[in-house]
Amino acid sequence: MPAHDSPQHQPNPALFFDTVQGYQRTFALKAAVDLNLFSVIGGGATAAQAAKRCGASERGVRILCDYLTMVGFLAKADDRYSSTPDTAMFLDSKSRAYMGRALNFMLHPAHLENAQRMAETVRKGGGDGAMLAPDDPIWVDFARGMAPMMFPAAQAIAQHLQPALATKAKSKVLDIAAGHGIFGITIAQQSPGAEIYALDWANVLAVAQQNAAAMGVAGRYHLLTGSAFAVDLGSGYDAVLLTNFLHHFDIATNESLLKKMHAALAPGGQVVILEFVPNDDRISPAPAAMFSITMLCNTPHGDAYTFAELGSMCRNAGFEAAQLVSLAPGPESLVLARKPL
Amino acid sequence: MPAHDSPQHQPNPALFFDTVQGYQRTFALKAAVDLNLFSVIGGGATAAQAAKRCGASERGVRILCDYLTMVGFLAKADDRYSSTPDTAMFLDSKSRAYMGRALNFMLHPAHLENAQRMAETVRKGGGDGAMLAPDDPIWVDFARGMAPMMFPAAQAIAQHLQPALATKAKSKVLDIAAGHGIFGITIAQQSPGAEIYALDWANVLAVAQQNAAAMGVAGRYHLLTGSAFAVDLGSGYDAVLLTNFLHHFDIATNESLLKKMHAALAPGGQVVILEFVPNDDRISPAPAAMFSITMLCNTPHGDAYTFAELGSMCRNAGFEAAQLVSLAPGPESLVLARKPL
């Protein structure tokens, strides 16, 4: 039997309990979103009041609210619950930054099933990647739910590109795996000369096109249907967006994709990569580094790549030295690289 | 739209992300236990070494170990992982305190399915309680897996009862919903005059009886098969154990059960209740108070009761004033009450 303990250490199973029960945090949050609980609590409600407003039982709401208070989404004073500032911002369905619809993608049954197969996946080295097949409907859930979560990154990208795009009367931006389309759409809003070319599966582009119309840029929004690896992309782009895309693939695949992007760009054009970028230790910062397990479970070869790895991929594809820009407090970063003039 | 933010508050979606992904913590821990990963890492291993020892891929083990480092189960220095003291204690299968087998009960498909139905359960006020039906096989998983997690509480109970039991040549202890039997067995080991009467479903008692034999107390271990609410318990007991049982039922049911225990006890006999006991605010301490959501999801009317509630149940059943004894750092407490002489 191994030596278990130093004399100073009092054994504590708290982390074990808490981690085993981690799934309850996920499904309590999901239940609250499904019940619209955060919206009806707002600035304050008792369990009885909240239960009445969302058509649920007082016992159920009381236990769920106490739990969500301990997890950090609510505050409790006497028997009255209220939303924290972040909860009011992200989980009140009346907020523009409402993220509740992201759960249809983030907690898609495929994600939950793949996580439950994790031991088998670790044995064989990767997931089956079924969701990377053409037209997989999970990406429609992605497109419908994930836009609000991407607003801050979309603003950052649009602001970064704005000066370069402003030098030309007409510019062209290619948005690979456009999804909800919010990255290209935000650029189109901020750069009136920009024509956006959005690539994705046809079922997903229907969502992007709706969003482009709703946000007033449909006239400068063009669709490229199919796989980024197979479609003829055209050429002369001023910028190519690779948002949350490279993490699905291995390094060699990413380099071949980046070469294709390089070929599609005009000289001086930029590739804008949005990614979860851990430090070289791969355990910090946790919100970025933890994304690696999602790629282990859901793709055959994907990963959360370090800046050294992403920079090397860009260099090997012909780009100039890449730059890293953190988007904290969000979990992602931008990696920016230019095609030589 | 509600007012979202104070000027001082920078919106941060980190808690939202982390909670949505909480299920990954659960299943990463489960995968590591299934792979026996903590045992093969022990005092130190690289991903390549650990992968070889547990017959898994290096990529999978590297990503899983990085994740488990961030969650707190491993330490990482350069590319070498090692177990924390608690991991070595509780998750190395060579340790006597190994808790890995508890996952078969704690992550039983019924628990996971009930958690995923939480919105519906909150609407109607409680779970269906299917697992409380006679002979439900989940309690065999409980009995087979949960004993090591109960060692500290079993020691505390046996030590508490030892002086009273030592005053008599022969004593009788009734263990309600005995499960693995470890509470009664530990008493039998420490109090040589104690005869243990273990009550549970027949399929569960088979496990308790095996444990009693393995631990050398089979000669003083007696079985009472069936429901605590229906079986004739006999009488003249010096102590009755109600360990992790009252949380499954409503207050009225618990009071009627406590009256039956009171009738079965000799004058001066004690009821020993082991429970998750939150403070009156029901949000502290979190490890106890969080247990309430498990009862919401898995029982029609159960809860984690406060000491005020448990004391009142005991009083209404005829017991003298109850006492509360914390078993920290474990999540549970003892509630002790005596039948008047």
Q: What is the pLDDT of residues B38-95, one digit of tens each?
A: 999 998 999 999 999 999 999 999 999 999 999 999 999 999 999 999 999 999 999 9
> Residue A129: its pLDDT value, please?
85
pLDDT band at A4 (very low <50, low <70, confident <90, very high): very low
Q: How many CB pairs under 8 A join A and B?
A: 287
Say if residues B68 and B28 touch (Cβ distance below 8 Å): yes
Instruction: Mark yes or no for CB contact A118/B30 under 8 Å.
Output: yes
SS (H, E, C) A97-124: CCCHHHHHHHCCHHHHHHHHCHHHHHHH
pLDDT tens by residue, A62-119: 999 999 999 999 999 999 999 999 999 999 999 999 999 999 999 999 999 999 999 9
Res. B5 pLDDT band, cuts 50 70 90? very low
Question: How do beta strands B74-77 and A74-77 pair?
Answer: unpaired
pLDDT at A151 over 70: yes
Beta bridge partners of B239: B173, B270
Q: Which of B27, B85, B286 sits opposite A118 (nearest CB)?
A: B27
Question: Which candidate, A103, A74, A19, A328, places its Cα nearest to that of B17?
Answer: A103
Q: Greatest CA separation found in chain B?
A: 74
Quickly count helices (H) and strands (E) in chain A: 17, 10
Residue B200's Cβ-count burial label (10 Å; 0-12, 13-18, 19+) is buried
Reported confidence tier of residue B28, pLDDT bands at 50, 70, 90? very high
Measured distance CA(B80)–CA(B318) in Å, rounded = 60
ipTM of the complex model? 0.95
Arithmetic mean of pLDDT, B172-197: 98
**DSSP conformation class of A223:** E
- CA of B107: which chain A residue's CA is closest? A20
Report, as an integer, the average pLDDT of A16-24: 97
Contacts of A331 in chain B (CB under 8 A): 14, 17
Q: What's the CA angle centered on B121, arms B144 and B109, to 5 degrees?
A: 30
CA distance B191 to B166: 7
What does the pLDDT read at residue B329? 87
Residue keyed to tokens 């859930």: A141
Concatenated DSSP letters for B67-126? HHHHHTSEEEETTEEEE-HHHHHHH-TTSTT--GGGHHHHT-HHHHHHHHTHHHHHHHTS
| B124:A60 CB<8 A | yes
Mean pLDDT of chain A: 95
Chain B closest-CA separation from residue A183 CA (Å): 19
The CA distance from B23 to the nearest CA of chain A, in Å, is: 4
Which of B4, B69, B116 comes nearest A283 by C-beta? B69
**Searching chain B, which residue's CA lies closest to the CA of residue A122?**
B60
The model's pLDDT over B275-312, given as tens digits with 9 standing for 90+, comes to 999 999 999 999 999 999 999 999 999 999 999 999 99
Where b means 16+ CB within 10 Å and e means fewer, B22-39 reads bbbbbbbbbbbbbbbbbb
| Average pLDDT of every residue of chain B | 95
Backbone angles phi, psi at A272, to 5 degrees: -115, 110
Residue type, B23: Y
Between chains, do A97 and B4 touch, taking CB under 8 Å as contact? yes
Closest residue by Cα to residue B304 from B325, B281, B328: B281
Evaluate if residue B3 carries a pLDDT over 50: no
The pLDDT score that the predictor gives to residue B11 is 87
For residues B10 and B299, the model is more confident at: B299
**Cβ-based contacts of A29 with chain B (< 8 Å):** 16, 19-20, 22
pLDDT tens digits along B189-236: 999 999 999 999 999 999 999 999 999 999 999 999 999 999 999 999
C-alpha dihedral (B24, B28, B34, B40), degrees to nearest 10: 180
Which tokens go with A119?
């031991």
Token digits of residue B111? 């628990």
- Write the pLDDT tens digit of every residue in B115-130: 999 999 999 999 998 8
B8 vs A: CB within 8 A: no
Cα dist from A194 to A152, A174, A260, B288, whole Å: 20, 10, 21, 57
- Please say if the pLDDT value at position A3 is more than 80: no
Between residues 78 and 137 of chain B, which touch chain A (CB distance below 8 Å)?
Answer: 85-86, 88-92, 94-97, 99, 102-103, 106-107, 112, 115-116, 118-119, 121-126
Question: What was the pLDDT predicted at B129?
Answer: 85
- Whether the CB-CB separation of B85 and A9 falls below 8 Å is answered with yes
Cα–Cα distance, A211 to B156 (Å, whole number): 62
> Pairing state of beta strands A333-338 and A265-275?
antiparallel
Contact (CB<8Å) A19/B34: no
* % of chain A with per-residue pLDDT over 70: 97
Q: Which of A34, A42, A59 sits opposite B126 (nearest CB)?
A: A59
pLDDT per residue over A249-302, tens digit each? 999 999 999 999 999 999 999 999 999 999 999 999 999 999 999 999 999 999
